Amino acid sequence: MSVDVHVHPWTRPFILKNAPILKACRFFNIDKRLLPKSIGQLLEEMDESGVEKAVILGQDTHATPNPSFRNYSIRNDDLAEMAARGRGRLLPFAGVDPNAPTQALKELKRAIGKLGVRGLKVHNSANSVYLNDKRKMYPLYALCEEEGLPILFHTGTTALGDCEIRYSNPELLDEVGQEFPDLKMIMAHFGWPWMDVAIAIAMRNPKVFLDVSGWKPKYLPSSLLSYLNGPLQSRILFGTDYPMIRHRDWMRDFNETLKPRLKPGVAENLMRRNAENLLGS
């Protein structure tokens, strides 16, 4: 059984009203007719592929200056409701909009206390806020550090349209790691095309994890594999980026192309153990 740390609980109707996600569908060459219809379908697909648990990611862009992200927010209450349908299998990471910093902090506190979220997700390119923005981001970092909650950061390039990747450069997280040494961070998509920077930051900060989502296993860079088989074997996490990559496709590709190249025990770490250590589940 495995734990997918990077799932978007997006359904077809939600995607169809979001131009930036439709551009991602084109990027991933997705047949829009096959997009998931419901959270029930996500759970069925997880069952079919032996995925026991998944982190479902929130998102909030209600105060973002970028009009393309007007329909992009998911209410944390709705996210919690989806998680409840998974009966413990779907772990919600809240979304808040750092463009409204006071409200964001209040909402994150509420989501932790009332909704039982297990972490925070931020997509700084969608929000047009730099990862190291002291006024907009640091209060959220302080709260998550204090609560022991991980933050999953989108890092590196994005398939989403209508936004800029400079906000999500993983290099900006180096100073965050220095300022908040106990903050658990996940750099999604291993920060590519700034992968070497993301790896360097993980190597100097034991609380930093990387996820491999958004990539078919056969395309993962071989230099990443040497870290996965080596010094970062307890800090690289399985993630799909569902529904951009579906579980069945990811697993088939993993079994055929990546698993045979992993040292003993590393597949287990990647697919389950590292996420369990991080999430405490």
Residue 207 tokens, joined: 């609380």
Name the residue nearer to Zn ion (CB basis): 153 or 262: 153
Nearest residue to Zn ion by CB is 241
Q: CB under 8 Å to 247, separation ≥6 — which residues?
A: 4, 45, 46, 48, 49, 51, 240
- Rounded distance, CA 65 to CA 259, Å? 43
- How far apart are CB 47 and Zn ion at their closest, in Å? 22
208-211 sheet: strands from edge to edge: 2-7, 51-57, 90-95, 119-122, 151-154, 185-188, 208-211, 236-237
Q: Which stretch binds Zn ion (CB under 5 A): 99-107, 137-145, 164-172, 241-249?
A: 241-249
Residue of the chain from 241, 262, 266, 273 that contacts Zn ion (CB under 5 A) = 241
Name the residue nearer to Zn ion (CB basis): 45 or 241: 241
- How far apart are CB 214 and Zn ion at their closest, in Å? 6
Contact 181, 207 (CB under 8 A): yes
- How far apart are CB 213 and Zn ion at their closest, in Å? 6
Name the residue nearer to Zn ion (CB basis): 220 or 262: 220
Name the residue nearer to Zn ion (CB basis): 107 or 241: 241
Alpha-carbon radius of gyration of the chain = 17
- How far apart are CB 205 and Zn ion at their closest, in Å? 22
For β-strands 90-95 and 51-57, DSSP reports them as parallel
Residues that bind Zn ion (CB under 5 A): 241
